[in-house]
Amino acid sequence: MSLKLNIQKIKTTLAIPTFNACASAKSFLDGLKKQTYQVDKIIVIDSSSSDDTVAIFKRGGASVHVIPKSSFDHGGTRQMAVDLVPDADVIIFTTQDIIFATDNTIKTLLDGFSDVSIGAVYGRQLPSFDATPIARHARLFNYHVNNSIKSCNDIPQLGMKTAFLSNSFAAYSRRALMSVGGFPTGTIFGEDTQVAAKMILKGLKVAYCAEASVYHSHNLTYIGELRRYFDIGVFHSREKWFVDALGKVRWTHLSRQFFRKVKLHPGAVFMFFCMCSYPLSRGLSTANFRPLPFSGAGWAGLGCG
């Protein structure tokens, strides 16, 4: 029998990795204070910011833990936050630069745990007001208007997209997260997708809640886009189990959707070459891989999923 999670009887923690977040910290905290559902605890893992990030979040009621910038790890740093709150039933992850679309955003996200078999719920990311056509399309492509619940039964149709999930705004059942070993360490990319894939392969489900929306997108430079696709390729090369279980990337479909939107915009031409960095990185020996300059710690405060 399916049982819905009673959000009034659980303990919740909001966890945020930060780095030089002054520009967005005040608006983030203002939006958080307006939420109709208030989390029990706020945890910040800060990668040695050189601005007033730590002070701002402490004034906002957060428990702040500072780590060396060099030790930031997409999976390990988030698992550190999970370990700091052993009594939390649900841990919500966001990035430092999201804007809550409504005052009910967090409550609506938690309502996505409509079944005990759901291990994680992620919300919709809307393009920021200044989003470029490329950034806007990325959000519209990955975050559609309809809710969905994904399980292993969806793999034949969705392939890798079955395990799509973004820690820019997602909530995890602690029990489900720890049942798959928590977040992986030593990751330059895709710690959220790895966890989602492991949950699905274990028989759990991942829910997408379109009504739980935040504004979040990044106008990456062309070089930033190239590095991102390169990192995706390295991730798929290192995590062979992921590709074996879920199938290959369906680049033809993705590319057709993308170019239909932006046509021959100069950025689209360059994006084609950025996509080419994906198979290039998969062809390289991962034993000799070194992160590109903006890989790894450079993504500390940027949720780019």
Give the model confidence (pLDDT) of 7-27 as tens digits.
778 999 999 999 999 999 999
**pLDDT band at 126, cuts 50/70/90?**
confident
Top-confidence range, 51-55, 136-140, 279-283, 288-292? 51-55
Over range 122-141, report the average pLDDT.
74
For 12-215, CATH number? 3.90.550.10
50: nearest Cα among 30, 86, 78, 22:
22
Q: Classify residue 127 by its DSSP letter.
A: P
Is residue 285 pLDDT above 50, yes or no? no
Tell me what the pLDDT averaged over the chain comes to: 81
Provide the token pair at 7.
């959000």
According to the model, what pLDDT value does residue 257 have? 55
Q: Which residue has the higher pLDDT, 238 or 222?
A: 238
Is residue 135 pLDDT above 80, yes or no? no
CA distance 97 to 20: 11
66: nearest Cα among 20, 124, 32, 22:
20
Is residue 303 pLDDT above 50, yes or no? no
**pLDDT band at 168, cuts 50/70/90?**
very high
According to the model, what pLDDT value does residue 220 have? 58
Q: What is the pTM of this model?
A: 0.81
**Domain spans of the chain, in order of start:** 12-215, 222-299
Over range 121-146, report the average pLDDT.
77
